[in-house]
Structure 1
Amino acid sequence: MCTFASILKLMTQKFLFFCALLCLGLQAQTVKKVDHQSIVWTRYYNQLLLSEKWSLHSEIDNRVFTKPIQQNVYVLRVQGRYKINSQLETGAGLAHFSVTTQIPEINPDFRIPEYRGQQDLTWRISGKKIILNQRFQVEERFIHNANAAGLLPGSTFSWRFRYRLQGDYTFWKKENQAVKAILSDEIMFNAGKSTRKNTFDQNRIYAAIHFQASNHFSYELGYLNSYQRRPSGVDFFDRDIIRLSIFHRLNWKNKS
């Protein structure tokens, strides 16, 4: 495990160095337009523990613009997860996105569906109060073709590669209750014929307070900044996002 951890650490350092160079390159470009937007994300996240190794995770996510108030995206997601050991975990699943609009001033009378596969590998290091985890995730995206008037036949396929570094700090804990702070940074890249102008997709910085109320329920309130390149390759979204999450944990193995 020490050898694997050393290799993974070296790969992570090289990846972060590459990301830093990319971000510097982006800053050097002339940005034609940056749209600033405010959004609220509300999420219900269910974790069903099937055994010591296996679990089933499902999620409902609703995203709404606030200026003006307008539906943005509705998300359904399900995935199976397998715990390899105390540090490594992997998962695979499917997601359905229903996109109303990405610009709140424009309100079409139709929604664009997207179907997405996802696979990830998460590496976790736990201390007394601090937990550090890294997630490498791959997504296969099938976005329904559309124009300003409505949906068109067929769909467009692309890959997306994501890397997230996250730290959790527990500053209060008592029996089945705890309060912790969360800080993370995630960078995403697109790949495919349709993404030549926006290979860099977005960077997300997230900070939150997480309250564990019991063995079954936890609540999280956080702020997320998403800086995303649009398909044009020269225009960007700069999004201020307030995120409220409810986590519901069920233990099927104990019932069995």
Structure 2
Amino acid sequence: MKRLLLLTGLLVLTLDVYSQSLVNNEVGGWLMFFNRTRFHEKWSLHTEIQDRFYDISAKEEQLLIRGGLNYHLNQKTWLTAGYGYIESYPPEDVVADKVVEHRIWQQVMHFHAIGRVAIEHRGRLEQRFVGDRYRDRIRYRLMATIPFNNRVMQPKTVFGAVYNELFLHQFESSPYDRNRFYTALGYQFTTATNLQAGYMAQNFAGKTKGYMQLGLTSNLYLLGK
């Protein structure tokens, strides 16, 4: 209970800070699906689909489809390379065509624990072909997940999650791109499936916008027992 109160307090404090600069007090939405299919002791496939909206009225902002191949160095460190297809749509009051982005990406993930808190470090490089423009970007995300009603993550576990992710442009005079802060509550249905509902505040171009998020993760393990 103390941990739940601490997470709730952090959420309230963060929302208060970010809400001071929210764009038109407008809150968007993200629907997300993630899958990791383990087909070899060292290899797995990553797939995800994200549908993003400008506001609750469901004016579509962006569609993202991303896939990758994971190499598991060990239980704590994974390497990934993949491709993403992104369609970005203009706001309702802007007359413009959608922008298509083709994205090549590489990342490293490292996992460890501090007590019962699971810590995840994720570093990612992106080569982005956005319309007729090319850009390089680097990202770093620090994430913490804590189970509330069990000592470890297992079926029937209620958990909290929080992360911060920084985006920087490479080889540009103004490297800062954006920052995302996210906090959520989730439920682990099985060892392979969980659902998270949370809030993300994204700072971009000097302004901050909030997004309600709903994410389903459902993994497959094809190696047998």
Q: What is the TM-score with the length of structure 1 in the denominator? A: 0.73
Q: Which residue of 2 aligns with 1:186?
A: 165
2:124 matched to 1:137? yes
Q: 1:157-204 deviations in whole A, cap 9, x for unaligned? A: 110011111111111238523221111111111124xx54x4200111
Match for residue 44 of structure 2 among 52, 55, 59: 55
Q: Which residue of 2 aligns with 1:244?
A: 214
Match of 1:126 in 2: 113
Q: 2:76 aligns with which of 65, 87, 100?
A: 87
Report the Cα offset of residue 58 of structure 1: 0.5
| Superimposed CA distance per residue, residues 198-242 of structure 1 (whole angstroms, 9 cap, x where no aligned partner) | 42001111101121111332101111000012xxxxxx3411011
In structure 1, the residue corresponding to 2:54 is in which secondary structure?
Answer: strand
The residue type equivalent to 2:31 in the other structure is: T
- Could you report, residue by residue, the CA deviation over 1:120-151 in whole angstroms, capped at 9, with x for unpaired residues? 1112112452111211111000011xxxxxxx
Q: How does 1:200-215 map to 2 (within 5 A)?
A: 200-215=176-191
User: Whole-Å Cα distance in 1 between the matches of residues 120 and 192 of structure 2?
Assistant: 22
Partner of 2:94: 106
| Counterpart residue identity of residue 254, structure 1 | G
- The whole-number CA distance in structure 1 between the counterparts of 2:119 and 2:92 is 36
Once the 2 structures are TM-superposed, how far is the Cα of residue 34 of structure 1 from its aligned partner? 7.8
The answer for the alignment partner of 1:218 in structure 2 is: 194
Amino acid aligned to 1:205: F
Partner of 2:59: 70
Give SS of 1:66's match.
coil
Q: 1:107 to 1:46 in 2, by over 3 A?
A: farther
Task: Check 1:212–1:67 CA distance in 2 against 1; reply closer, same or farther (3 A cut).
Answer: closer
Q: Name the structure where helix makes up a greater proportion of residues.
A: 1
Q: Please report the TM-score for the alignment, with normalisation by the length of structure 2.
A: 0.82
SS in structure 1 at match of 2:224 = helix
Runs of at least 5 residues in structure 2 that lack an aligned partner in the other structure: 1-20
Query: What is the distance in 1 between the residues matched to 2:222 and 2:203?
Result: 39
Q: Is residue 40 from structure 1 mapped to residue 16 from structure 2 by the alignment?
A: no
Higher gyration radius (CA):
1
Identity %: 21
Over the aligned positions, Cα root-mean-square deviation in angstroms equals 2.1
